[in-house]
Amino acid sequence: MKKHLTTVGATFFLWGLITAFNSTLILFFYRYFQLSWPQAMLVNVIFYIAPFLTCLPCSKLIALYGYRTMLRSALLLTMSGCGLLSLALGCYSIIGALFAVFVIATGVAAMQVVANPYLTLLSQEHKRVGNLTLASAINSLGTTLAPLLIALALRSSPIDYVNHNEPIKWIWFVLALFSVGLFAITFSIKLPDIIQDKKNKTHSPTLWGNTKFIYSAAAIFIYVGVEVSLGTNTINYLSTIGKWNTEIAISLISLYWGGALIGRFIFGIFADRISLKIAFLSVTLVSASFILLSILLNNAAGGYLLLLIGFANSIMYPIIFSQSMTTVPHRANFAAGVLIMAGIGGAIIPYIQALMIDSLTLRFSFLLPLALYILLACWGAKHLKTASSPISVLE
């Protein structure tokens, strides 16, 4: 059983790596293909549109073909996309690169829809929350390592902008091989399958009449959007305002994602002993304060404050997700799919900030995440209870 859980858990690490690579490489696309910042942000838009298009169809396919088949299909999609992106970068084709990113994102979205419930169903009942928490931490490990790997690659083999030669394509080639390896392992260990009832409904009109759930889905939209927007534009802040070179700025963003890794481990230990409302209000308001200070300081110190927000972000998603599930316990399957779809905020909000950078300057574009953290604090004040409550981590 452990090898089955390890194999499924490895997919969390894979999509963590890919997600962070995608956000980190926007600055690379901006300079390598000589794009405007909104054009470069299209990479991010495409990556987060895919889950919106994929979640519900993938849920239906799971009911038809089972978790194992869909996990293998997701890995094949991811492998194909990584191989295509490696080829597109080698050919200096921005159109090919954008298409490849969409294929990768579709595979990653399918992995997310499959892996969370698959890991839960493969686990013994008393170990389900613990296994999901560990898998979530493994996902954060991937997002932490990705910027360091890119910075190392760029340091060992600097980009030749004249001859269009860069080391990034080899990273995507290795990720394609990693995906193939996981695909092969699912056969070698005879990964068990779980078939869902094909008659199981995937939606219910009563869900949309639940005001609390709608607000919670909006909170997920905002949270994912602001987290990705900061993870992307903090690199721009560090390189433009902080005056760090590209390689150092990319490596520093690992502190942002690493904060989420550390925070998730700590939160997993103390979540049942603290007031979720007080914790949520604290981290959202502190994040808003740090962004305000970074706008006022407008220097490298402000960039460090933005990096610290990663630690605060670590507890927001599980709290919002758990609250959403408690509002619609009898519609949990469809609700989970809708919440993952709400992650399209990761495409829309960063793109809005990119437009603000062109119109208001990079410094004042951070007024957007500042306002969004205040909105999240308002959600927490209205919808969270003061007493602590158990939660599940499903990111």
| Residue with more model confidence, 279 or 48 | 279
For residue 177, the tally of other CB atoms under 10 A from its CB is 12
CB half-sphere exposure, 358, CA atoms < 13 A: 12
Please give the Cα distance from 146 to 23 (Å, whole number): 10
CA angle in degrees (0–180, nearest 5) for 136-138-141? 115
Distance separating alpha carbons of residues 164 and 90, to the nearest angstrom: 8
Query: Strand ranges (DSSP E) for 303-365?
Result: none
Q: What pLDDT is attached to residue 195?
A: 61
pLDDT computed for residue 207 by the predictor: 64
Tell me the pLDDT tens digit for each residue of 331-345: 555 666 787 788 889
Domains and CATH numbers, the chain: 1-192 (1.20.1250.20), 205-390 (1.20.1250.20)
Whether the per-residue pLDDT at 101 is higher than 90: the answer is: yes
Instruction: Please give the pLDDT value at position 218.
Output: 95
**Could you read off the pLDDT of 102-134 as tens digits, one per residue?**
999 999 988 888 887 777 677 766 565 556 667
pLDDT for 390: 45
Q: In angstroms, what CA-CA distances link 101 with 106, 130, 190, 261?
A: 9, 32, 30, 25
